[in-house]
Chains A and B, each alone.
Chain A
Amino acid sequence: MIRAGLPRLLRAIGVLLVIAALTCQLAFLMPGDPALILLGPESTDAQRAELRHTLGLDRGFFPRFLDWMGGVLIGDWGTSFASGRPVLGEILERLPVTVELVLLSQLLALALIIPLALGSARRVNGVFDRVVSTATFVALAIPSFVVGVLLIFVFAVHLGWLPATGYVPFSEHPLENLRRMVLPALTLGIAEAAVYTRALRGAAIEAVRSQFAYATMVRGASDRALLWRRILRPSSPSLVAMLGITVATALGGSLLVEQLFALPGLGRLTVGALGARDLPVIQGVVFFAAIVVVVAGIITDIALALIDRRSIRGRS
């Protein structure tokens, strides 16, 4: 396992270094002098020179990159222009909101789709299966921001059951926190649910048709026991892989949802930083997101190995 993991780890570190290097060049995307654009035409030469110095733009790429990487390693990710606070502190402060949103959305999605997909596989092309297949195909065509707008309209504006915006920390008021997280989590979850259902349904149908499913049926297992205790596990690798990708790219998804529901998470931080052209925060968020992707990839691989242990114990 270590022998298989080491090259992967080195590769992951390489990927992170390249992304860190790219983020150090973000300022040059701006047409013209970044300092002039950021500070505006009324700024003095001295102010602009100072900004260039803080951003490291007065030095070459390598000193700037090494300086930033060195800072990252000791926990100094730079200082936000907008708030004047350390970037890492800003990120970690917002992180719990996004983590809760992502966890809740994925739990909701799984709770919804596993019964749907297994029910579909129970009677392939039966009425239930056809309804599920058609519904997921249609759901696949609805972008998450449309889902969010519709959910707000129906549940917050029209029915008035749930608040549309605002956030209460879980530690302060757990129930109110959940009440306010339901719609955002649904928005994020429904977008993925259609993809998950199709993946799990396909794998489960294949498993139900397998010889080992026949053997279990002949041993007198009920449909429920067969599906939940013998089909779900061998069918789940593709679902888990997708789950890994969703969690890995959750920051992108949270951008929309947090903006839509005004949740003070990482997505909101990013949107704010982008609007204010807060370069240190943008750089920090991008690098942080890349770390999440790499770590999520490794965790996914471990999860897949636990589901199908053949991959760790070698094939005969």
Chain B
Amino acid sequence: MTAFPATESTAPDLSAPILSVRELTTTIHTRGDARAVVENVSFDLVRGRSLAVVGESGAGKSMLIRSLLGVHAPGVDARVRGSARVMGVDMATADAFERRRVLRESIGMIHQDPLRSLNPTYRVGTQLTESRAFGNQRPSRRSLHRRAIEAMAAVGFRDPVREARLLPHELSGGQRQRIGIAAATLNEPALLIGDEPTTALDVTVQKRVLDLIDEMRERTGAALLLVTHDLAVAAERCDDLIVMRAGSVVEAGPTLQLLTAPEHPYTRALIDAIPRLDGPRTRRLCTPTEGNLS
């Protein structure tokens, strides 16, 4: 079961895509000037599968995520065309109420910088449960606290009752990212999104965080959309790959196929740039000199 080519979504069966993106184009408007940051992107992601979006910084990966969540930076005039359906709800056109419900119930996101993505003035145990606390029904403080403790235990905190009372700056980088994972998986969402979840972490911690993400996925059966500039991580963890460059999809397909038989020179350049112990000594930077890439 591959994500490509895209299949027409029909009855809500298990093979129906959790995330279905069609001809998604996002333009940023600034005073009489418009710039496309995501151009004509289409893909499907079905239950249990994992898909990596790979590209250099500035390739439009973060804007792609913002577009399919419908959450844009304040003050940025971003206009989205096409559709991005999560569990059948088009996030680009849904009203705020419906969009937030999907965000709370069906999507969990793990952010790039675990320190900056946590509010410095609230205890981690409090922030962890935001997707429940800020929902339509207001659970009691006590039940939220209990849920936070459970979630922290599930991501490997030894003494969650004490650690839930800590502030973000009192945790280590790896601990913070585990809080991020616990917050993302709190409502057992069908879709997990990782936005460079390991980039800000030490190499030794990176693997443990990725393992934890895999473990949580196994537990809940969530699909994973992993956005990364690190092709090695993407190749190791994901079933399918999308290579993005300057807002557009350059190449897409199952990981193995893409790695063994890349069709586009840019993909080839990215693959060659992966440092290998057994490979040739010379390392090529991904300077896209060949091919017509626009």
Contacts and interface: CB of A to CB of B under 8 A. Distances in A.
Interface string B157-176: 00000000001011000000
Contacts, number: 92
Given A215-B111, A221-B134, A225-B134, A234 B121 contact: yes
B73 A214 contact: yes
Contact of A209 (B73, B118, B119, B133): B73
B236 to A, nearest CB: 26
A96 B263 CA distance: 82
B9 interface: no
Interface string B105-117: 1010101110011
A103 to B, nearest CB: 25
A226 B96 CA distance: 14
Contacts of A211: 111-113, 116-117
The size bracket of the interface on A is 20 to 34
A123 B105 CA distance: 26
Contact of B121 (A125, A226, A233): A233
The listed residue with most B CB atoms (<10 A of its CB), out of A210, A214, A221, is A214
Task: Say what secondary structure dominates the interface of chain A.
Answer: helix
The size bracket of the interface on B is 35 or more
A212 B131 contact: no
A162 B79 CA distance: 51
A22 to B, nearest CB: 40
B131 A313 contact: no
B119 A221 contact: no
Contacts of A219: 103-104, 109, 130-131, 134, 183
Interface in B133-175: 133-135, 167, 169-170
B101 A220 contact: yes
A313 B167 contact: yes
B280 interface: no
B100 A220 contact: yes
A214 B121 CA distance: 15
B167 A222 contact: no
Interface of A: 121, 123-125, 205, 208-222, 225-226, 229-230, 233-234, 307-310, 313, 315-316
Given A220-B135, A230-B122, 15 more contacts: A125-B75, A210-B116, A213-B74, A215-B111, A215-B183, A216-B119, A216-B127, A216-B130, A217-B103, A219-B130, A220-B101, A234-B121, A310-B167, A313-B167, A316-B169
